[in-house]
Amino acid sequence: EMVLTQSPGTLSLSPGERATLSCRASQSVGNNYLAWYQQKPGQAPRLLIYGISSRATDIPDRFSGSGSGTEFTLTISRLETEDFAVYYCQQYGTAPTTFGGGTKVEIK
């Protein structure tokens, strides 16, 4: 199965700073089928991005996704306090669908 490796494991930043999260796939992601989710403690994941760069409903434009092939990035242009959370990438182009191990964005 396709392995997704997220880095860094933890990102310590201050509100207002830019966050850059990486997701690397063990093989090319078919049809650019890559999504990003945000998860806060005690909550279910929330879809942020699908198809590498399309924002889900009601997701603010400070969240953006980019990349191709095996390298993908989630960028949060200016961190708000509510953005401190864990972020997961998911590929759904090759069965079985798989998730990355997550990146925690914490307040510095």
Partner 1 sequence: QVQLVQSGAEVKKPGASVKVSCKTSGYTFSNYYVHWVRQAPGQGLEWMGFINPNDGRTTYAQRFQGSLTVTRDMSTTTVYMELTGLSADDTAVYYCAKATRFLQYFETWGKGTTVTVSS
Residues that bind partner 1 (CB under 8 A): 33, 35, 37, 43-47, 50, 56-57, 88, 90, 92, 95-102
DSSP conformational letter for 51:
T
**Identity (one letter) of the amino acid at 86?**
V
N- to C-terminal Cα separation, the chain: 35
**Identity (one letter) of the amino acid at 12?**
S
The distance of closest approach from Cβ of residue 58 to partner 1 in the complex, given in angstroms and rounded to an integer, is 11
**Identity (one letter) of the amino acid at 9?**
G
* Tokens 């933890």 found at: 10
The distance of closest approach from Cβ of residue 78 to partner 1 in the complex, given in angstroms and rounded to an integer, is 26
CB nearer to partner 1: give 13 or 47. Answer: 47
The distance of closest approach from Cβ of residue 63 to partner 1 in the complex, given in angstroms and rounded to an integer, is 15
